[in-house]
Structure 1
C-alpha cells in the first residue's frame, strides 16, 4: 500500500515537472522580446505610482499583472527569465489542476495523461513562455474548476467557496473576459443536476467575484479603443477553435457522458466550448476574438484528452496489462515527436511578429554622436523604452512628453509642424519602424509628416531589417 501511494504521488508530480521543463526549454527565445512583452517590460520598470498614473489612461485591464511584474522586477531584476518564468510556473499549476481533475473524475491514468497533454497543446506552448497574464489566468481557472468539482462531490465548505470566489475574481482582474468561465461552470452544474444548495452557493460566490471585477470592467470600457485593431470575426477564424472542440467532443464520447453524472465530459466539454462560443458571439458586436483571451479553455481539452487515454488504458489492461502501462508514455512521446517542429518554431524569434531587442542592437551599432531618431508608428518607441542604453546619445526629436510623465505606453509626440521643423534641423536621422513584410500603411498625420520629410529632404544610406523590425539611417540631402 505505501508503495502504491508513492507511485501515485510520483504520477501526480510528473506533469508539473514536465510543464516546467517545456517552459524552461528555450525560455529566452534567443534573447528576443516582442512588442506585447515589451509593454510588460517597460511598464514593470516604472514606479508603482507611475503605473497607477498610466492605468488611468491606458491598459487598465492589465493593471494587476503590471503591478505583479513590477514587484518581481524589483526583487529579481529585469530580464527574459523574470519576464516569462511566472507564466511557466502558472502553467505548471494549471497542469497540476488538470491532473487532479482527471484522477478524480476519470481514474488514475487520466490525470497524468491530461496534465502531460496540456503542456503539449500548441496554444499552451506559445503562451507558456509569454510575458503576459494569460497563463496566470489559466492557472486561476484551473484552481476555480478544482474547487467547483470539490463542491459537486460534496466536500466543499465555506472556505472552498470563498476560495472559488477569490480565484475567479483574480482571473477577472487579470483579464475580465476570463469571467466567461462562469458560464462554462454553470453548464456543468446544470449537466450534473447540482443540488439547489450548490447552485445557490455557486451563484453567491460568482456574484461576489463579478462584483469585485465590475469596477475594472466599467472603467476599462472607456479604453476600448486599445483593441480597435482586432479584426471582425470571420468563418476562417473559427476553423481552429472548431477543430479543437471537435477533438474534445471525440474525447467526450469515449467518456460516455450521462446527464446527472459528474464526469470529465461534464467538466471539460463546457470549459472547452462555452467560452469560445460566447466570445465568438460577443465578437459579432465588438471584435474581440483572440485565442489568448480564452486560453483557459485548453484546460477542458487537456482534461478530455486525458480522459480518453485513461479509458484506453482501462480497455487494454485486461488483455495486455504490461502494454497498458506503456500506453500513456508512448502516446506522449509520439505527440512530442509529431509536434517537435512546431515546438521548435514557437521557441524561435520568428514565432512572434517582431523583436524589439534585435533592432536596439542595430541602433547601438549604427548610431553616431548627434544623431536623431524617429519612430513610425510611435508605438515602435518601445524598443528605446526597453533598451534605453542602446539609444544613449540619440535624440528622440518627435517626443514632446515621455511615457511616464504622460501616463501612456509610448509617450506623447509633438504636433506635426513641430516634428517637421525638428527633422529639418538634423543632419542624420535614424528611422525605427516595422519590417516591410509586416508594416501597415501609414495613417496617422504625424507619421505621414515623418515619412514625407525623410523622402523629400533626406537620402537613405543604410537599411537593416531584422526579426520584424527595421532601422534605416538617413542623411540630409545637400541644399541646392
Structure 2
C-alpha cells in the first residue's frame, strides 16, 4: 500500500515538475502582475508595510513570502516563478494521493497527470503570483479533510484549519473552497461529530480571514478593471465542468470511506466558480485564476474515468489508447509551447522597455496612459532614468503606492507644453480609456498641440512618439 501511494504521488509530481521547468524564463519576459510582485517583494519591510496600508493588502502575505525568498536566493525571473512551479508539482502529488485513496493507484496517477495538462494550470504554474500556491494548499487541505473525516483526530483538524487559513491569507477567494467542502460534508455519510468539527474549523478559517477581508474591502477599487467574465475563461470553465460531470455520471466509483469521489470532486469543480459568478452580479470580480483550484475536481473525476476505461477494455485496445493519447498530447503541447512564449500574456514589460529604448532620446518626456502602466518601468527602473516622467508627482518608492502619484491635470498640461517630444506608453489601440481628469487632459493636450511621429505595438502595449509640430526628429 505504501509503495502504491508513493507511485500515485511521485509520478505526477515528477512529470509536473519537469513540465513546469520547461521554458520557465519565457525568454526573459515578465507581465505587469509579475512586475508588481517583483517590485513589492524587493521593497524593505517598512516600505512594504506602508504600501499595503493603501494598496494590494489582499496579496500582502504572498509579497512577504517572496520578500524572504528574494533575500535568500536573489531576485530574477527564475526565482520569481519557481515557487509556482514547485507548488503545482505539490498539488499534482496531492491530487494523485486523493485519486489513489478513492479509486486506486492508476486512477491517482491518471488524475495527477491530467492536472498539469490543463492549460490554466500550465499558465499559472509559471507566474510569479500566488495562484499556484493557493491551488496547492487547497489540494492538501482537501486531502487533510478526507483524512480527518475518515480518522478524526484533533491534530488532523488543526492541520486542516491551518492549511485552509493559509490559503485564504494568500488570496481571499480561497475561502470559496469552504463552499465545496461544506457541500461534501452535507452530501457524505459522515458522523455528526465530524460535521460539527468541520463547522468549527470553517468558522475558525472565516474568523481568521475576517480582519484582512474587512481591511481589503477599502481597496476594492483596485479590481475596477474587472468587467463581465471573459468569454474564453467562462467557456473554459463550462467545458471542464461538462466533461467532469459526464465523467462523474458515467464512472461509478465504490465509496471507500465516509466521503466518496463524486461527493468531493463535483462540489470542488462547480461551487467555487458558480458562487464567484453569482457574487459578480453585485460587483464584477470573476477571474478564473481566483478560483483556479476548481480544476482539482476535474482532475479527480477525469482520472477515475480514465482508470475505468482502461480496466473495461482488454489489451487489444492498447493501440487505440495510444492514438487517443497522441491526439490529446499534440494540442496540449502546442498550447504549452504558446504559454511559454512572451506573447502568451497580457503584456510584456521587457518588450516595452526595449521599444522605449529604440524610440526615445535622452531628455524626452514620458507619459503613461493610463497612469497604472507605469508598472512597466518597475522591472528595469534604470532603463528610464534618461527620460522625464511628465505626470509624476511622487515616485513609487516614496509614495507608498503601486504606480506612483501624479500631479493635477493642469500641471500635467503645463509640463507637456514645455516638452518638444513625448514618448507615450499606453494600451493598444481599441482598449477602453480611463476618464479621470488627468487622463482626459493627457489625451486632449496631445491631440491639440502635438503630432504623432511614430507608433509601435508590442505585446499588450503601444509606444507612440509625439512631438510639437516640426520637432519629430530628435534634436
Q: Same fold (TM over 0.5)?
A: yes
Aligned counterpart, 1:56: 53
Q: State the SS of the aligned residue for 1:410.
A: coil
Does structure 1 conserve the Cα–Cα contact (< 8 Å) formed by 2:346 and 2:459?
yes
> How many angstroms apart in 2 are the aligned matches of 1:417 and 1:426?
15
**Alignment of 1:157 onto 2:153:** yes
Match of 2:463 among 445, 467, 471: 471
Question: What per-residue deviation string (whole Å, max 9, x for no partner) do you get for residues 182-240 of structure 1?
Answer: 11111111222211111111111111111111101111111111112212359997443
Aligned counterpart, 1:225: 221
Q: State the SS of the aligned residue for 1:298.
A: helix
**Alignment of 1:246 onto 2:238:** no
Aligned counterpart, 1:199: 195
Does structure 2 conserve the Cα–Cα contact (< 8 Å) formed by 1:313 and 1:327?
no
Does structure 2 conserve the Cα–Cα contact (< 8 Å) formed by 1:227 and 1:288?
yes
**Alignment of 1:175 onto 2:171:** yes
> How many angstroms apart in 2 are the aligned matches of 1:55 and 1:170?
18
**Alignment of 1:361 onto 2:357:** no
Task: Provide the TM-score with structure 2 as the length reference.
Answer: 0.93
Does structure 2 conserve the Cα–Cα contact (< 8 Å) formed by 1:257 and 1:266?
no
Report the Cα offset of residue 257 of structure 1: 5.8
1:22-101 → structure 2 map (5 Å cutoff): 22-101=19-98
Bigger mean CA deviation after superposition, 291-300 or 74-83: 74-83
How many residue pairs were aligned? 470
Sort the Cα spacing of 1:234 and 1:106 in 2 relative to 1 into closer, same or farther, 3 A.
same
Aligned counterpart, 1:416: 409
Report the Cα offset of residue 407 of structure 1: 1.6
Aligned counterpart, 2:270: 273
Sort the Cα spacing of 1:39 and 1:476 in 2 relative to 1 into closer, same or farther, 3 A.
same
Aligned counterpart, 1:451: 443
**Alignment of 1:210 onto 2:203:** no
> How many angstroms apart in 1 are the aligned matches of 2:438 and 2:406?
8
Q: State the SS of the aligned residue for 1:36.
A: helix
Report the Cα offset of residue 476 of structure 1: 2.6
Sort the Cα spacing of 1:207 and 1:472 in 2 relative to 1 into closer, same or farther, 3 A.
same
Sort the Cα spacing of 1:234 and 1:433 in 2 relative to 1 into closer, same or farther, 3 A.
closer
Q: State the SS of the aligned residue for 1:462.
A: strand
Report the Cα offset of residue 76 of structure 1: 2.2
Q: State the SS of the aligned residue for 2:403.
A: coil
Q: State the SS of the aligned residue for 2:424.
A: strand
Aligned counterpart, 1:407: 400
Aligned counterpart, 1:462: 454
Sort the Cα spacing of 1:478 and 1:121 in 2 relative to 1 into closer, same or farther, 3 A.
closer
Task: Provide the TM-score with structure 1 as the length reference.
Answer: 0.92
Sort the Cα spacing of 1:105 and 1:257 in 2 relative to 1 into closer, same or farther, 3 A.
closer
Q: State the SS of the aligned residue for 2:27.
A: coil
Aligned counterpart, 1:292: 289
Does structure 1 conserve the Cα–Cα contact (< 8 Å) formed by 2:7 and 2:105?
no
> How many angstroms apart in 1 are the aligned matches of 2:19 and 2:98?
21
**Alignment of 1:190 onto 2:182:** no
In the alignment, structure 2 segments of 5+ residues that lack a partner are none
Match of 1:430 among 423, 426, 430: 423
Does structure 1 conserve the Cα–Cα contact (< 8 Å) formed by 2:109 and 2:303?
yes
Question: What per-residue deviation string (whole Å, max 9, x for no partner) do you get for residues 421-449 of structure 1?
Answer: 11122222211112225x32342221222
In the alignment, structure 1 segments of 5+ residues that lack a partner are none
Report the Cα offset of residue 266 of structure 1: 1.7
Bigger mean CA deviation after superposition, 415-424 or 109-118: 415-424
Sort the Cα spacing of 1:144 and 1:330 in 2 relative to 1 into closer, same or farther, 3 A.
farther
**Alignment of 1:392 onto 2:385:** yes
Question: What per-residue deviation string (whole Å, max 9, x for no partner) do you get for residues 454-480 of structure 1?
Answer: 23333333322211212222233359x
Does structure 2 conserve the Cα–Cα contact (< 8 Å) formed by 1:255 and 1:265?
no
Q: State the SS of the aligned residue for 1:470.
A: strand
Does structure 1 conserve the Cα–Cα contact (< 8 Å) formed by 2:88 and 2:125?
yes
CA RMSD of aligned residues (A): 2.4
Does structure 1 conserve the Cα–Cα contact (< 8 Å) formed by 2:8 and 2:97?
no
Match of 1:17 among 14, 28, 34: 14
